[in-house]
Amino acid sequence: MNSWQIGNVRITKLQEQELAWNGTMILAQGTADNVKREGEWLQPFVDKQGKFLVSIHSLLVESEGRRILVDTCVGNDKNRPGFKDWTNLHLPYLATLQKAGFSRESIDTVVCTHLHLDHVGWNTMLENGRWVPTFPKAKYIMAQREWDHWSEYEGLPDFKNSIDDSVRPVVEAGLAELVETTRRLTGEVWLESTPGHTPGHVSVRISSGGENAVITGDMMHNPIQIAHPDWICEFDNDPRLASDTRQKFVERYCDQAVRVLGTHFAGPTGGHIVRRSGAFHFEA
């Protein structure tokens, strides 16, 4: 289990699964050759065959007595015919939370960085044939702009179904709070607007006791995009805006004492953006 102390804030990685995927499933340029060309700095985030290691995890942020769960992975029992790795799972995610000391009832806030299927799955669980909120005492925070987009969405069936089985039930239960993309959650934690991958996509900023961190969300998927912010993700809703957001993010956090925690970064997950001989790299 990885965890980080940022001033008074504790952040804990709660992993649901880790997969090795051909990088080209995410980025057209994510070929094994391009991976090998990057060299050693990228090694913790790829395998020996040059595939991307893709971690699916939540990050639990403890701040000022609050327990804020950022993203809820793929979930169990969900039917996702277009994503074989993610259909009808029976993974011990809730046991992982429990083992780390977090009961479902103790989570008071869930943040969805965006409403893609691998970020909202554990928003709900199957109980007597019905999808019910997994975290009954939590407010589920999502950007108004994000909900407006997805609640009307009529495209890929799996993306649409995940709204119906993992997001709509928490909205209908009155647990969703639709917010601006810069909403402050505590004195130490706030949302930062990082649009492009989806229209209302947010990252999560943490600042406490002079220490700083940022949780990326899917503004990027693998640290190779730090070196190449212009490489477009297959699932970027607005590729040009996504690329522009990534470029600005990399420049803003480069050579700063800000720990970057990648929502899909495997292995060490956290590190710093640095400039080495004119190129951007990620140092775990």
Interface contacts to Zn ion, rule CB under 5 A: 118, 218
Instruction: State which residue, 9 or 56, has the beta carbon closest to Zn ion.
Output: 56
Instruction: State which residue, 165 or 218, has the beta carbon closest to Zn ion.
Output: 218
Instruction: State which residue, 62 or 116, has the beta carbon closest to Zn ion.
Output: 116
* Smallest distance, Zn ion to C-beta of residue 116, A: 5
* Smallest distance, Zn ion to C-beta of residue 192, A: 17
Listed residue (202, 239, 241, 235) closest to 221, CA to CA: 235
Instruction: State which residue, 38 or 71, has the beta carbon closest to Zn ion.
Output: 71
* Smallest distance, Zn ion to C-beta of residue 117, A: 8
Asked if 178 and 142 touch (Cβ cutoff 8 Å), the reply is: yes
* Smallest distance, Zn ion to C-beta of residue 119, A: 6
What whole-number distance in Å separates Cα of residue 26 and Cα of residue 8? 35
* Smallest distance, Zn ion to C-beta of residue 75, A: 13
| Tally of CA atoms within 13 A in the half-sphere of 120 that contains its CB | 29
Instruction: State which residue, 203 or 208, has the beta carbon closest to Zn ion.
Output: 203
Element (H, E) at 18: strand 9-21
Instruction: State which residue, 120 or 138, has the beta carbon closest to Zn ion.
Output: 120
Q: How are the residues of the chain apportioned to helix, strand and coil, as percentages rounded to the nearest 5?
A: 30, 30, 40
Contact residues for 210 (Cβ-Cβ < 8 A; gap 6+): 7
Asked if 279 and 39 touch (Cβ cutoff 8 Å), the reply is: no
Sheet holding 189-193, edge to edge: 189-193, 202-208, 211-215, 258-261, 270-276, 279-283
* Smallest distance, Zn ion to C-beta of residue 215, A: 12
